[in-house]
Structure 1
Amino acid sequence: MVAVFNKELLSWYLITLKLKETVEAGIPALQQTPTSTRSLKLLEQPHQQQHQHQQQQEQSESLQILINDGRENANEVSNPPEDEWVISIREKLEQAHQDDAAGSWAKLCVYRIPHCLREGDDKAYVPQIVSLGPYHHSRRRLRKMDEHKWRSLHQILKRTHHDVKLYLNSIKELEEKARSCYEGSVTLSSNEFVEMMVLDGCFVLELFRGVAEGFKQLGYSRNDPVFAMRGFMHSIQRDMIMLENQLPLFILDRLLGLQIGEPDQRGLVAKFALRFFDPLMPTDEPLGKNDRNRLESSLGYATTFDPLSDQGGLHCLDVFRRSLLRTGPQPSPRIWIKRWSHAARVADKRRQQLIHCVTELRESGIKFKKRKTDRFWDVKFKNGILRIPRLLIHDGTKSLFLNLIAFEQCHLDCSNDITSYVIFMDNLINSPEDVGYLHYCGIIEHWLGSDSEVADLFNRLCQEVVFDINDSYLSRLSEQVNRYYNHKWNAWRASLKHNYFNNPWAIISFVAAVVLLLLTSAQTFYGVYGYYRP
């Protein structure tokens, strides 16, 4: 028996066999007819012709059926059944229903950087030394830090006399909650995920406590390659503040609680985190011995977040951002501005323009002065004077601002205050001359190579950022500045001062010209007066 796999060939084969049987069945009938009975056959010829005509019709119908079957089989081979296509679509819809029913979107807080923000500066979002969490867990060049993570876990177990099962079992209870904090599906198995959370979390806590209490007190050598106050620590801090490199705060709270014997404690990790990331603050007032309680004392104002309490805080980046904005909600924009607001606008030079640049504002008579406060975003404007707090720019400022902006873009329950400030400064700075003048006023202090690098930094921070200027806390201030800028008398007065009162010699020349003009006018008056009244 020969197996036939092609249905089309099988159909044509059956048709050929049927034709052959029909031909062979007709030939013997003609050969077996004798001459003597030819006359009888002539009498029966009408009846036989009718019978043969019926047989031919039946054969043609059977051949047509076989041909149609062959064509249908050929179509089935070329086009799959429609039912399979519909079934696949229904399976995809069912998977979408399961993803939507999971309800994990509400707990999402550690996001992947969108590609539109990542373009052109991937290094600012990707850790270079240490990886935390699942997003960069498998990177080969970051595995060198794993041995130091194991050393930190060993040191904790040695110092607390705990069994590692205590930490593994405790974090196992929080596994599902921790997985829902990350965007997309985490491919790690249950044991791998729990091991990663324990290992990374203990490493982070050792760094936090080492900076706050001293690494020597924790049992590390003074010349330890990682757990020591070296210049290497700044690079670790910059990696640990990145959005894709975050651990849920409740995981760190649980691990620290197990170490100190209070598994349900809250707020202590946030306090350690603020002390650890204080060198990244965009101000030039780091915490000293006399200023260690500066944050706690400043919380006497109306605040939306207390980093020392058990409320708020998703991860270390969120804690750091909330500490920057710790003086409470900002004034809402005016109603007439909101009337023209749209749901979302892509920030470009036509739509994110809050105010004019420094050079143009100076030409309209607006002055710039440094405001004495550690809250870098607290800008004030009154009587033609724009007071801006001091801003310190170093090699980690760009990555810090980019990750803060990305978090504000991704997280729903998050204001856009950092984005508003950065766009405000981007509007002020269009050239190195603008940076130079702000530096002259004491507003900007930077450790970069030149003023042009600072200008380029601000001009690139908010590319492709979704931002509505009418939802900015600086919209009212910008409207006041623009009103002052559009007043022509202010521009004329500023032009007069700039052209004739910009230095002492120009002032002396102007005064001499005025005196000479007055004397000439007096001489002319007395000459004319004496002529008519001698």
Structure 2
Amino acid sequence: MVAVFNKQLLSWYLITLKLNQAVESGVYNTQAPSTSRSISCSESIQAQTPQNQQNGVEETGHSDEPRSKPVESEWIISIKEKLDQAQQDDVAGCWAKLSIYRIPQCLRDAGDDKAYIPQIVSLGPYHHNKRRLRNMDRHKWRALHYILKRTNQEIQLYLDAVKELEEKTRACYEGSFSLSSNEFVEMIVLDSCFILELFRGAAGGFTQLGYSRNDPIFAMRATMHLIQRDMIMLENQIPLFILDRLFGLQSDNPCLNGVVARLALGFFDPLTPTDEPLTKSDRSKLESTLANVSSFDPLTEQGGLHCLEVFRRNLLAIRTGPKPTPRMWIKRWSHADRVADKRRQQLIHCVTELKDSGIKFKKRKTDRFWDIRFKNGVLQVPRLLIHDGTKSLFLNLIAYEQCHLDCTNEITSYVIFMDNLIDSPEDVSYLHYCGIIEHWLGSDAEVADLFNRLCQEVVFDMNDSYLSKLSEQVNHYYDHRWNAWRASLKHRYFNNPWSIISFFAAVILLLLTLAQTFYTVYGFYWPHV
């Protein structure tokens, strides 16, 4: 009886031990497989232990595979997603409508970053919803409210119109931005109506539109000048076709192309870097000169992109002579060409050196600041007005010419030419004396520093400049030694009336001395009989 009981007890013990080993076999196999194999209670246990160990190894092996495969698959998936995005970006024509660019980092680092970033009002997606620019949002909503109240229209009309053009509008901007479809349409409608209200108010008066004469924004105060500077920046633009569409809805006339461009030119006129008034005779001469020249009208040309481009076209509206051909993209952004171009940006010498070589400077009577002429040793430069917004204007115009493929580089050529002329405050002072430069800055040194910093990190080839031929003529005149000698003589002996009198007195005295010497020698050898 005792033997049977011990046999049953031994059986239960073996079963319990086997179950325990089956459960813990995986742990034993990873920690101490040799220890589990050393247990020998019976042949069945010894046979079961290796099987459990094998199962444990297999389970462990299967558990290792999922740990490596997900890492590899996630890596491959991320690469495929990047390739899919590259394929979408490489769709034919996806870059064709691009016209509103982000300022390249190289230009930001070289210039003043504030010249590219709006300080009061944001337009478009690049600076949308920034904290320091949110104060203007309530005035944008006021402008939209006034428009709807004045036209007796519903907001849905404007939202639907922009919704139809959403894809085309998004294609005008560089890069991606985190705005949903509704948010993007709302932003475009709000910003566009604000722009149109400013244009119409500047042209016909804000009181005619229903605004109070002491309105904090819609009144011609100092704030308006800051708004104009922000609205001319490259990153702060709205496509012109959107403005035309919404202006047509307000006027119940969809065929008003060109009206917004004219309103924009009137609004941005205070930023024009010249205010040279032309007399009737000068204007008639200018018109007769350009009568047979095919002029460029920025308001009738097709494909107006945005206000900055319209403003630039107006500045270059009647430039004569052949236009440079558009540059290739690889030529513009290649690092090798960048270095070569930086070495070839020296078009001419500075004012002081040119003046010492006999070249004269004269103010040219024209309202086109870029129209520089050189004839018979006289460099005729139109008057340039420099104010606190000139730097931002030139930097954004240069950035646009650097970024847009189908854009020539007239503004860049002019700025680099002036940068070559101006090396020191003395150069600025002499140009101011000649009536060529008029500035509202603190000193001549600030003007010199402004031009010396405008074209840093700018890709430019002097052979692609409309001033390259003129620069060759100036350099040829400068290299002629006789011109330098004549200029030196004039500078030393003919710079004031007393020097002239002294010079002629010395010449007369020299002639009399020579005559006296001649007659003395003549009388010595051939005395009178």
Question: What TM-score, normalized to structure 2?
Answer: 0.84
Cα offset, 1:16, TM superposition: 4.0
Structure 1 vs Structure 2: percent identity of aligned residues?
70
8 Å Cα contact 1:347/1:464 also seen in 2: no
Cα offset, 1:442, TM superposition: 0.5
Q: How many residues align?
A: 492
| CA offset digits 1:61-103 (Å, max 9, x no partner) | x999998997897698579664543343222111211222274
Q: Which residue of 2 aligns with 1:357?
A: 350
Q: Distance in 2 between matches of 1:229 and 1:287?
A: 26
Q: Does the C-alpha gap of structure 1 residues 443 and 15 become closer, same or farther in structure 2, counting only changes over 3 Å?
A: same
Q: Distance in 1 between matches of 2:93 and 2:287?
A: 36
| CA offset digits 1:415-437 (Å, max 9, x no partner) | 01100100000000000000000
Q: Which residue of 2 aligns with 1:145?
A: 136
> Are 1:391 and 2:411 matched, yes or no?
no
Q: Does the C-alpha gap of structure 1 residues 241 and 141 become closer, same or farther in structure 2, counting only changes over 3 Å?
A: same
Cα offset, 1:395, TM superposition: 0.5
Q: Does the C-alpha gap of structure 1 residues 300 and 524 become closer, same or farther in structure 2, counting only changes over 3 Å?
A: closer
Match of 1:525 among 487, 497, 518: 518
Cα offset, 1:531, TM superposition: 1.0
Cα offset, 1:377, TM superposition: 0.4
Q: Does the C-alpha gap of structure 1 residues 401 and 227 become closer, same or farther in structure 2, counting only changes over 3 Å?
A: same
Q: Distance in 1 between matches of 2:491 and 2:93?
A: 63
Match of 1:12 among 27, 30, 34: 30
8 Å Cα contact 1:267/1:310 also seen in 2: no
Match of 1:174 among 165, 175, 180: 165
Q: Which residue of 2 aligns with 1:52?
A: none
Match of 1:98 among 66, 74, 88: 88
Which aligned pairs between 1:369-448 and structure 2 lie closer than 5 A? 369-448=362-441
8 Å Cα contact 1:278/1:287 also seen in 2: no
Amino acid aligned to 2:378? I
Q: Which residue of 1 aligns with 2:79?
A: 89
Cα offset, 1:188, TM superposition: 1.3
Structure 2 unpaired stretches of 5+: 1-18, 280-285, 326-331
Q: Distance in 1 between matches of 2:460 and 2:265?
A: 28
Q: Which residue of 1 aligns with 2:122?
A: 131
| CA offset digits 1:198-247 (Å, max 9, x no partner) | 11111111111111111122122211111122222111111110111100
Cα offset, 1:284, TM superposition: 1.7
| CA offset digits 1:244-274 (Å, max 9, x no partner) | 1100000000011011111242110000000
SS at match of 2:361: strand
Q: Does the C-alpha gap of structure 1 residues 241 and 333 become closer, same or farther in structure 2, counting only changes over 3 Å?
A: closer
| CA offset digits 1:367-397 (Å, max 9, x no partner) | 1101110110011111111100000000100
Amino acid aligned to 2:310? V
SS at match of 1:217: helix
Q: Does the C-alpha gap of structure 1 residues 349 and 411 become closer, same or farther in structure 2, counting only changes over 3 Å?
A: closer
SS at match of 2:209: coil
Amino acid aligned to 1:139? K
8 Å Cα contact 1:348/1:463 also seen in 2: no
Match of 1:211 among 202, 225, 233: 202
Q: Which residue of 1 aligns with 2:503?
A: 510
Amino acid aligned to 2:415? V
8 Å Cα contact 2:278/2:366 also seen in 1: no
Q: Distance in 2 between matches of 1:310 and 1:28?
A: 96
SS at match of 2:207: coil
Match of 2:237 among 243, 246, 256: 246
| CA offset digits 1:427-456 (Å, max 9, x no partner) | 000000000000000100001111000000
Q: Does the C-alpha gap of structure 1 residues 91 and 322 become closer, same or farther in structure 2, counting only changes over 3 Å?
A: same
Cα offset, 1:149, TM superposition: 1.1
Match of 2:219 among 222, 228, 248: 228
Q: Distance in 2 between matches of 1:482 and 1:328?
A: 23
Q: Distance in 2 between matches of 1:272 and 1:353?
A: 38
Structure 1 unpaired stretches of 5+: 30-54, 289-294, 335-340
Question: What TM-score, normalized to structure 1?
Answer: 0.83
SS at match of 1:105: coil
Q: Does the C-alpha gap of structure 1 residues 99 and 296 become closer, same or farther in structure 2, counting only changes over 3 Å?
A: farther
> Are 1:256 and 2:237 matched, yes or no?
no
Q: Does the C-alpha gap of structure 1 residues 68 and 533 become closer, same or farther in structure 2, counting only changes over 3 Å?
A: farther
8 Å Cα contact 2:341/2:459 also seen in 1: no
